[in-house]
Amino acid sequence: MKFGVVFFPGSNCDQDCFYVIKDVLRQSVKYIWHKDADLDGLDCVILPGGFSYGDYLRTGAIARFSPVMKSIAGFARKGGTVIGICNGFQILLEAGLLPGVMLKNRGLHFICKHLFIKTENNQTRFTNFYNTGQILKIPIAHNEGNYYIDAAGLKGLRDNNQIVFRYCSAAGEVSDRFNPNGALDNIAGIINKKGNVLGMMPHPERSSERELGSQDGYFIFKSIVKWLKTQKAW
């Protein structure tokens, strides 16, 4: 399977994503500079974390206008698999490829720590390796992870099972107490209606090797490969 890791001026999690795909997942992967519009032959596009354009104006607001984003919009329209992690998620939101917006963390602190998220929907191409409700230990590192959408939007997400991950306790309790940033409905990750674009604030690429504290996030990448293989079987 061919993965592409997009990077913008200011992205800094591209190398971790590249490394996990190449050396842990052992799939073909290449970097895509934000000015390249060529996604030919790719099965999955990763928008990694970081501080694209220094988060100037609003995080992801400028990156969304890079040439590569037009190609990614077309790729997503045709059903291509896209995963946006942290800043990548923020870019997808600004680009309108996912609904909603990120506000500053309610505590106004940049939070960098391991926490737990619950798999609310394991019927997606990103979560098929997990059991329903499976709890993942995974790190976050962000200042703007306070997900917000209006009431109608939230109802839409719930009705269409678009909420994929929620912040929770180690035992799986979803409540405000275990919400690190104030995100609406404890939302940590969502998919679009079609189910081919995922955005998540926690970093699965930093939760892919036991030596770094957890391997729980790795199965998101394995799920993608598993799903892609079922498509290619035809």
Partner 1 sequence: MLRAEIYILLKRTVADPQGLTVKRALESLGYRDLADVRMGKLVIIKLNSKDKKRAQQQIDQMCKKLLANPIIEDYHFKIKEE
| Among 142, 139, 40, residue whose Cα is nearest residue 93 | 142
* Shortest CB 33 distance to partner 1, Å: 22
Which CB sits closer to partner 1, 100 or 217? 100
Candidates 30, 33, 70, 150; binder of partner 1 (CB under 8 A) is 150
Q: Residue 73 interacts with partner 1 (CB under 8 A)?
A: no
Candidates 15, 148, 160, 161; binder of partner 1 (CB under 8 A) is 148
Write the interaction track for partner 1 spanning residues 93-132; mark x where CB under 8 A is met and - where it is not.
Answer: -x-----xx-xx-xxx------------------------
Q: Is 86 a catalytic residue?
A: yes
Q: How many residues bind partner 1 (CB under 8 A)?
A: 17
Q: Is 142 a catalytic residue?
A: no
Please tell me which residue in 44, 86, 142, 168 is annotated as part of the active site: 86
Q: Is 112 a catalytic residue?
A: no
Please tell me which residue in 13, 142, 168, 203 is annotated as part of the active site: 203
* Residue 82, phi then psi, degrees to nearest 5: -130, 135
Candidates 22, 36, 37, 58; binder of partner 1 (CB under 8 A) is 58
Please tell me which residue in 94, 120, 144, 205 is annotated as part of the active site: 205
The token pair that represents 233 in the structure block: 């079987």
d(CA 105, CA 127): 26
d(CA 133, CA 163): 12
- Binding residues (CB under 8 A) for partner 1: these are 57-58, 61-62, 65, 94, 100-101, 103-104, 106-108, 148-150, 182
Active site (catalytic) residues = 86, 203, 205
